[in-house]
Amino acid sequence: MTNSANTAAVRTWFITGATSGIGRELTALALGRGDNVAAAARKADQIRDLAERHPGKLIAIDTDVRDEASVRAAVDRAAAAFGRIDVVANNAGYGLFGAVEEASDVQARALFDTNVFGVLNVLRATLPVLRQQSSGHVLQGSSLYGQTAHPGVGLLAASKYAVEGLTDALVAELAPLGIKVTLIQPGPTSTAFLSNLDLADAIPSYDETVRTTQKAISELPPTAFSTPVRVAEGILAAVDAETPPLRLALGTSSAADMRTALHARLAELDRWADVSNAVDR
């Protein structure tokens, strides 16, 4: 780890999607080091064990991130219970698999309702608290697919690219107010994510691309997946850092695939520089 100056103080976390996968492990790690957690969750019973193990440190608040009023109520409860919010983990999300053309309008809008508008609901509800404190750290749930995409993940990538785009502006808006921001970019991680995937109806023209990719993903060995606890440990490292990264790739394949995509993008920018520059007056 490069720096780790902020480990001593007890923090209060507001974590969405805290009942399973990465969010649950993050909740458990935070509680394990003595922090407080307000868990915005739809299935509170899934973290009852953590609440019993850490009395007074965890409150589970029934929250659907798509519902702005429910998010605001959850943030009010968290702030009332713990007096402050130090870390906001905008973690709730799910995936949609299918060709861009295959995804229905209903599926595409539902995905954005959670993965993008849910993130905005959480930001609008929590940032007044963080601005009032002049401190805090926002963790934005992105993905490998926030930087690159392949057949079948177009809509999922669109939702994560949206989060990345707004976060590139957000970080500069919040820095002068004392608030840090980090995009969390896991690669394949062994959670309920794949079993919770929404699947688009297949159009045979995409069998060679989308279905072939889908089959390859379904045949990945367990070693191709990070564990959610390791991903949560990586997130904790960013939260503890004096100077956290804006983007944090989690998993070697995630980092490698993003590196390949970024190099290809730069190379193309260079290849077409003459045309780009010729457009100037």
Contact residues toward ligand NAP (CB under 6 A) are 16-17, 19-23, 42-43, 63-66, 91-94, 114, 118, 141, 143-144, 186, 188-189, 191-193, 196, 228
Contact predicate 122/71, CB 8 Å: yes
CB 44 within 8 A of CB 60: yes
> Nearer to ligand NAP by C-beta: 63 or 182?
63
Buried b (16+ CB within 10 A) or exposed e, 131-164: eebeebbbbbbbbbbbbbbbbbbbbbbbbbbbbb
- Asked if 276 and 269 touch (Cβ cutoff 8 Å), the reply is yes
Closest distance of CB 80 from ligand NAP, Å: 20
In the complex, least distance from residue 271 CB atom to ligand NAP, rounded to whole angstroms: 30
Take residue 22 and report the two structure tokens written for it: 């990465």
Taking every pair of Cα atoms in the chain, the longest distance, rounded to a whole number of angstroms, is 67
**Residue 131 or 261 with smaller CB distance to ligand NAP:** 261
DSSP label at residue 96: E
User: Which two structure tokens, joined as six digits, stand for 161?
Assistant: 């690219």
Q: In the bound complex, what is the minimum distance in angstroms from residue 61's beta carbon to ligand NAP? A: 11
Per DSSP, the three-state class of 255 is helix
Query: Among residues 23 and 136, whose Cβ is nearest to ligand NAP?
Result: 23
Shortest Cβ 274–ligand NAP spacing (Å): 37
How many Å separate Cα 238 from the centre of its chain?
A: 14
Task: Report the residue number, 6 or 46, with the smaller CB distance to ligand NAP.
Answer: 46
Task: Using alpha carbons, select from 218, 213, 216 the residue that is nearest to residue 195.
Answer: 218
Nearer of residues 114 and 126 to ligand NAP, judged by Cβ: 114
CA distances for 213 relative to 98, 166, 216, 249, 252, angstroms: 10, 29, 5, 22, 20
CA distance 198 to 15: 23
> Among all residues, whose Cβ is closest to ligand NAP?
21
Closer to ligand NAP at the Cβ: 34 or 88? Answer: 88
Min dist. Cβ of residue 52 to ligand NAP (A): 19
Q: Tell me which DSSP letter residue 226 carries.
A: B
**What proportions of the chain, in percent to the nearest 5, are helix, strand and coil?**
55, 15, 30
Q: How far is the CB of 63 from ligand NAP (least distance, A)?
A: 6
Smallest distance from ligand NAP to CB 269, Å: 26
Pick the closer one to ligand NAP by CB: 21 or 234: 21
C-beta of 69: minimal distance to ligand NAP in Å? 13
